[in-house]
Structures are given as structure tokens and as C-alpha cells.
Copies of this chain bind each other. A is one copy, B any other.
Amino acid sequence: MGFRVLYPGSVPPSVSASTRVVSESSVRRLSLYLRVLEELAAEGERAVSSEEVAARAGTTAAQVRKDLSTFGSFGKRGLGYPTRELSIHLRDILGLTRSWKVVLVGAGRIGAALFEYPHFRDRGFEIVAVLDADPGKVGTRWGGRRIRPVTELETAIREEGAEILILTVPAPFAQEIAERAVASGVRGVLNFAPTPLRLPAGVEVNEVDMSLELEALSYALHSRRCR
């Protein structure tokens, strides 16, 4: 299933307010392109070809052009894409010009790793509350932020106006917490619990399932015994 899109600011191609479907894989590639462009900008490149972006992002030039063309015409024929300008467009498209308030539930090891993950803050994701069910953890501090009891989930979300939930709790608790969060205003969930969430349509859920990734590796290595 893909995302619905309202063309962002610049150059809405012909049909105004039209919605087109953009695949999730395309969106992920756009994030990658953004990273690549920032790298290139840092290296002082003022313009860049789809070829070059593709090489760094691990895809093809045609794919890069297709992905970008969904949102407008950002390049100049014969010249390529203006590095800095295109990153701005991409940030815009991805909704990274604003900051996002995030509530983190689950103050275990994974939660701790994510709390400290520098790339989140760099991109405007601000963890405004950390909650846990374990009374032994509640009240302790992570970098000056007090861990709150998960009973305060609704309060915390409303107080802070958080729209994103990061879930790093054991699988059996994930569904219930996600439902409560959504009822309190959360519209997007990044789920690290190894279980799929069933949430109302309109709530965006991304699963990050590390066991699944390892098992996919296992499958690949196992089935290739032959070659």
C-alpha cells in the first residue's frame, strides 16, 4: 500500500490539489537521496546528476529521476540537480521542515539506544516523554528527563501534543499501548515490538522487526548453501 500525497508547495504538476500514490519504497529512497545530497553539499558539490545520486544511494539513475519526478521538476537538463536546492525540496516533501514530538514507551535497552540516537534529533524528532511500566525504572532520569509511569500515557501525549509514538515494549503490551496512544492523539507509530499492530486506518505504522531481518538473512544464507 502506498501513501497518499498532496503536492508540497513547489511545482504541483498540472492538476492542483491532486493526490497521487507514492510507494513506501519510493519514500524511503527519497530519505536516502536527502542524506546523499547533504553529503554532497558538504563536499561542496553544487550540482549533481541522477547517476551520481543513484550510485551513492545504491539504486539506478532512472529510479532517482522517477522518484523525484513524482513531486516536480527539480533538475536542469544537461546540468543535473542543484544540490542544496533539491535537499530543501526533499526536506519539504518529507515533512522535515517542522519538528515532531515523539513519545517513547519502553525504557529498556532498545528504548535507551533510540533515546540517544543522534540522527533522530538531527531530523527534528524530539522525544518529549519517556514512559515505562516498571516501577523500578519510573522516576529515574535519562539525561534530565524523568521516566514516567505508563499510566500517564494519555496525559503525556495530550500535555506535549505528541503525534508520534515509539514503542519498545514487550510484544504482549504493544497493542494495548498503541491503541491508547492513538485514542489520545498519536497518528504515527514506530513499532519495535515483535508483533504486528492492528490500528485504525489513517494511523501510520512502521514496523522495525529485528528478528525478522536476521531470519531473512538466515533464509538467504541457508538457501544458498548450493552456490
Contact = CB atoms under 8 A, between A and B. Distances in A.
Interface stretch (A61-69, A133-141, A148-156, A210-218): A210-218
Interface stretch (A40-48, A176-184, A201-209): A201-209
B119 A211 contact: yes
A218 B94 contact: yes
A211 B123 contact: yes
Contacts of A19: 226
A217 B164 contact: yes
B214 A120 contact: yes
B216 A31 contact: yes
13 contacts: A8-B222, A19-B226, A27-B216, A27-B219, A94-B222, A100-B218, A109-B113, A109-B117, A117-B210, A206-B213, A206-B216, A206-B217, A208-B208
A224 interface: yes
B224 A4 contact: yes
A4 B94 CA distance: 35
A218 B32 contact: no
Interface in A167-204: 187-190, 194-196, 198, 202, 204
Interface string A105-120: 0001110111011011
A77 interface: no
Contacts of A6: 223-226
A76 interface: no
A11 interface: no
